[in-house]
Each structure stands twice: as structure tokens, then as C-alpha cells.
Structure 1
Amino acid sequence: MNNYMAVVEYDGTNYSGFQIQPGGTNTIQGKLIAVLSKVLNEKIDLKYAGRTDAGVHARYQVISFKTGKDLDIYRILWSVNSLLPDDIVIKEIRKVSPSFDARKDATLREYSYFVVNKKYHSVFLKKYSILITRKLNVRLMRKAARMFLGVKDFASFCNSERLSDSTVREIFRFTVEKTKDDLIIFKVAANSFLYNMVRIIVGTVLEIGSGQRELSSIREALIKRDRKMAGEIVLAKGLFLTRVEYFS
């Protein structure tokens, strides 16, 4: 069997998340499997780097799949993209080692969250960002972001509906940047993430930036492992999976 990886970009607005779910709901994975299976004329199963939730987007999702065929990359790329919906596109396909697994082999995943911080929302950004009209303290939010760095227990910063065996994760980078157009971009990179973790962390940092929460509350929330100690979850529409890294 030949093993291939692909980079996928999608607008998650109209989907119930990436992963196939019981009941035949509309998912990104479901669309990809259906089209790949049709084009390759065989049943395809695929692995993925990040399980994005309903309404979350991706600029750089990585998938891997195996096939008995030796693919003509250009032809397959064109054929698959011509059949996929307009809000999903495969940007790249390449052959990889037989053991490569898009999920298990990923060493870093980065998400970006977009916030417009002005009195009105941009016509071109409102579909992919949230609006906060209250002036945000970017310097204070950067201090808050640094408090999440390293190996920590993020039990307070995830939705308990999908608690995994361990709530310990390592955040490698967390930056807060503001553009001249008053667009604030949060970028969080970690080995992996818990359910709703990025959206709850961003919501907490935004509350600090708007003066609704003290900086010290982050440390307290990390210690007490109680979801009620963290901030509100922000809307899914501002979140993008933007980077996935592997050892080689």
C-alpha cells in the first residue's frame, strides 16, 4: 500500500466539525473520504492532525491515507478538488513513508484566533473573527499569555464533555499581536489540545485584557482544576488551525 499526506484548507462554518460523527452529520472528514474514495475507486480511510470542532476553520490541516494505487499527484489533486465543495480544498498531496500517521506523528499544532478591536466590524472579517468594542490592553494580554507556557494541567480550560485520560498539555508558544487595522491575533502552539481548550484560554485572556478579570486568576484556575474558574468560551468562527509540524 502507498501512503500519502495532504494539506487541506477549509471554511468550517457549515460543518459539524472535522471528524465523522454518528448519524451521518455534515463533516469535513466525511466529504474528503467520499470524494477520495470516488476518485480512487476504493474505500479510503484517513488520519488527521487536528479534530477541529463545529464552525472552526483550517488553513493547514494535515491528513494521511493509504491506497493501492501509485498516484499521479497533479491529476488526483485536480480531480479531487473539482468534486469537493467550494469551502474545502486540498492544497498539496505527496507520498510519504508507509508508517507516517498525520495524527500520531504530529509534534506541534498551532491555532490562531482573530479579534477585531474597534467600534465596528469589518465587512470582510466578520465571518472569521469576533468584534470587541471595548479597548483591550494588549500588553496585559501578553503577560497573561506567558502564564500558560510550559507543561501544565489545563483541566480548568477545557470542556468536560470530552475529557481525556490526562488534561496535561505543553504550550510551546502563545503570542498576542495587534495590527494597524486593530485586528488582534492570538497564536497558540502546543503538542496537542483538549476539547475547546484554545477558545476557553482566549476567552480568559480577553477578559483580562478588558479589565473583567485579574491576571492572578490564571494561576488560581490552573491550580484548582475547575472549569468555573476560567473565562467564557469565545465563538468558533474566529478560530483557525494554522500550522502542524512533524519531526521530518
Structure 2
Amino acid sequence: MAMTRDTGRRRRAAAVAALATATVLAWPATAYAADVTATPTEARQGEAVRMEFTVPQERPGVPTDQVEIRLPADAPIAEVYPMSTDGWAPRITTRTLDRPVPGIHSSALDTVTSSVTWVRMPGTGEGPARLTLSMGPLPQADRLSFEVLQTYADGLVVRWGGAGQRPAPTLALLPDDPNAPVGHAGHGGAPAAGGAPAPAAGGPAAEGNDDSLLAAGLLTGLGGGAVIGWLVSRRRGRAPAEPADPAT
């Protein structure tokens, strides 16, 4: 009888241990079942794109305090602008290139964005973080991979891509279309996935164009006024010295 009871206890203990081990091993997979996603999933080389990254909130009661999105190091993107997102404050980190790359607002740029870090503002509710980057021109590559570091309020860091075991969001790049108009990443004027420009009325890019036109007009006006003034002064300077022609 004693031997039977001991055998039963060993079996129950082994079953409990196996269940506990399975629970511990399965916890990361269930806790981080959702992935960081990005929309759109494809774009064209040489154009601009506006990408929205959705970072899941998978730990109830423990909000995400910070999200860092790292741009591909081997395929630099000349211009990257974080779009305004309620409850989040962006911070841009840059790096210097050995060889400049063509931009949208400049023919050559040697300083590009290496990462954008969003910090959650106090009083912001929990839930997935939806963060948007406007970027371009897209490089001559087949695919871009964006490493994401998610930091929770208790200090836990979840890494998507890179050395982490969770997949990073990617963007597939189609060959560039030589007949397509040049995309404009701007500060909110990037075209959507299909190439149609996204609405950005009154944005900084539009204001910049208006300012350029205004400055050109002012320079033209000032230049014209200077020429007219110079001609008048010469005419007045010659008038006393030259006799008047009656026929004139």
C-alpha cells in the first residue's frame, strides 16, 4: 500500500512539474503573440511613402512608455519626418554618411535620420501605439526592415527584429517607375501606397513653397525697383550737363 501511495505521489508531482514547465515555456509566445505591423507593405523605389507602425499593447495594466523605430542602416533614406500623433512626442536621432544621398528638398544630403523615438506623454491611455513616418526618396533596394524597440513602464524592453526573436516590420520595394512624378515626402505630403498624394493642406511643406514664391516675388520687386531707381538717377545726373534738344 505504501509503495502504491508513493508511486501515485510521484506521478502527480511529475504531472504538476510538466504543466508548470510548459506554462513557463509557452508564456513568451502567448504574451507576445501579436506582431508590430506597418502599413502599407509595399512602395516604389525613388518615391516617398507614409508608413504607419502599429505596436501592440500586450501587457494589461503595464503601458508602453517608449517606442524606438530604427531606420535601415544599409539603405539610408534621405528624409524622414515623424508625423504628429496625439499623446506621443517624437525625438529624432541622426547620423552622418560617408557618401551623400539625393533628397527631395536637396540634391545631396550627408546627414540622415538613424532612428525616431516616441515617448508617451503623461495621462495618455493604454492601447496600441500607432505611429507614422513620412519618408523618401526610397532607396534602390528590394526590401526595407525596421527594427523596433518597445519599452514598457516597468522597464521591460521588447525587441522586434535585429537580434530579437520577434519579426520586424518590413516594406517591399518595387522597381521605380520612370514615368511617375517625383514623390514628395515633405512634412506630411508623402504619397500613399498607390502613388496618389496624401492630403496635407496647409502643412509646412505647402507653407515652404508659398514662402519660396513670396521670397522670389520680393526679390524680383526689389530688383526691379533698384533698376528703375538707377535709371532715374542717371537721367537726373545727366540732365543739367546736356543741352535740351528743341525737337525733343
Instruction: Answer with 1 or 2: which has the greater Rg.
Output: 2
TM-score relative to the length of structure 1: 0.26
TM-score relative to the length of structure 2: 0.26
